[in-house]
Amino acid sequence: MDRPRQRMVNDQLIARGIHDGKVLAAMASVPRHLFVDSALASRAYHDCALPIGCGQTISQPYMVARMTELLELKETDRVLEIGTGCGYQTAVLSRICRRVYSIERIEALHNRARQNLRAARHANVMLKCGDGLLGWEEYAPYDAIIVTAGGFASDAWLQQLKPGGLLLLPEGEGGNHCLVRRRKLGRGWSEEYFDACTFVPLLEGVNHL
């Protein structure tokens, strides 16, 4: 799968303006085909989102790279991810920063992500099945928070960011989202808007089915 993965990096990422060397290296090294069903493995490096069960999807490679690049991560950073899904975005983040704390509300996906990340040998990741809207206060504050479902920011996330930290999420409703990046300042926030996009909805609570 090395050749399709490198072609993905060249044709879908570099060609569309992803330039951060750390992000490109992570995308080139994480075996995306291990994070999808075996029946979809042949499409793992295609330019599209794919179903991962439970009504959820693994994001298109470009969107994973774009969101990762917008976080401006350093190797010493600690990142909170809201929405583990199958663990692919988690794996990409873990190749760049010191530690990733990731929360998934759907227990079946949480268990699958744990298996996927173990198979891909990502050791600097901590996973939790819980309500992502509450964040993960135990390990706060974080250098960055990334949200992989569309909705609106939770006060808990903003409180759990370090001063100067970044919160990135697809903001909006009804499938009409826009990537929004907020930086926590001494007083208040700065705010930047980026790509229009479509994500599964951000939901509260925990699903143990």
Contacts with 21 (C-beta within 8 Å, 6 or more apart), sequence order: none
Cα angle, residue 43 at apex, residues 176 and 22 outer, rounded to 5°? 75
> Which DSSP symbol is given to 205?
S
Instruction: Tell me the per-residue pLDDT of 125-173, one tens digit each, with 9 for 90 and over.
Output: 999 999 999 999 999 999 999 999 999 999 999 999 999 999 999 999 9
E strand residue ranges, the chain: 50-53, 56-58, 78-82, 99-104, 125-129, 142-147, 161-173, 176-184, 189-197
Taking the chain (209 residues) in consecutive chunks of 10 residues, what is each chunk's mean pLDDT? 89 97 96 92 93 92 98 97 97 97 97 90 91 97 97 95 97 93 91 94 88
Q: Are 193 and 171 in contact (CB under 8 A)?
A: no
Q: Is 190 an annotated catalytic residue?
A: no
Residue 59 pLDDT: 94
Which residues are paired to 128 by β-bridges?
Answer: 103
Residue 27 pLDDT: 97
SS3 annotation, 133-191: HHCCHHHCCEEEEEECCEECCCHHHHHCEEEEEEEEEEEEECCEEEEEEEEECCCCEEE
Residue 185 pLDDT: 92
Residue 1 pLDDT: 57
Residue 186 pLDDT: 82
Calpha distance 63→131 (Å, rounded): 24
Catalytic site residue from 59, 94, 102, 154: 59
Instruction: Tell me the per-residue pLDDT of 78-87, one tens digit each, with 9 for 90 and over.
Output: 999 999 999 9
